[in-house]
Amino acid sequence: METATTLARKENNGRISKHVTFTLCGSCYWCASYLDGRGTERCPSCNSDTVESLPVAGNEAYVFDHDSKRGITVDFVPMKVSA
């Protein structure tokens, strides 16, 4: 028997939500993933207003990394959809 969450994930190609946004603070590098258009304009960590949001397409995922030489790296990659 499939649950409502399982059915929702199948309808959204394996995602919990249709609208995913990657949010990053330009001051302290706090970051979060927001679902269904929710988000913030002010960083909850440092209270800065330098928060930027990047929409994540329905067929992609992202990998976030921080390196002292390169800084912030965000790679967007195609999601593998299971049958």
Residue 39 lies inside a defined structural domain of this protein: yes
Residue 12 lies inside a defined structural domain of this protein: no
Residue 11 lies inside a defined structural domain of this protein: no
Residue 7 lies inside a defined structural domain of this protein: no
Residue 6 lies inside a defined structural domain of this protein: no
With a threshold of 0.75, does the pTM exceed it? no
Give the Cα separation of 48 and 34 in Å (integer). Answer: 18
User: Encoding tokens for residue 77?
Assistant: 């990659």
Q: How many domains does the chain have?
A: 1
What are the tens digits of pLDDT across the range 24-46?
A: 998 998 988 888 767 788 999 99
What band does 55 get if pLDDT is binned at 50, 70 and 90? confident
State the average pLDDT for the chain: 77
64 lies in which domain range?
A: 18-78
Give the Cα separation of 39 and 31 in Å (integer). Answer: 11
Residue 64 lies inside a defined structural domain of this protein: yes
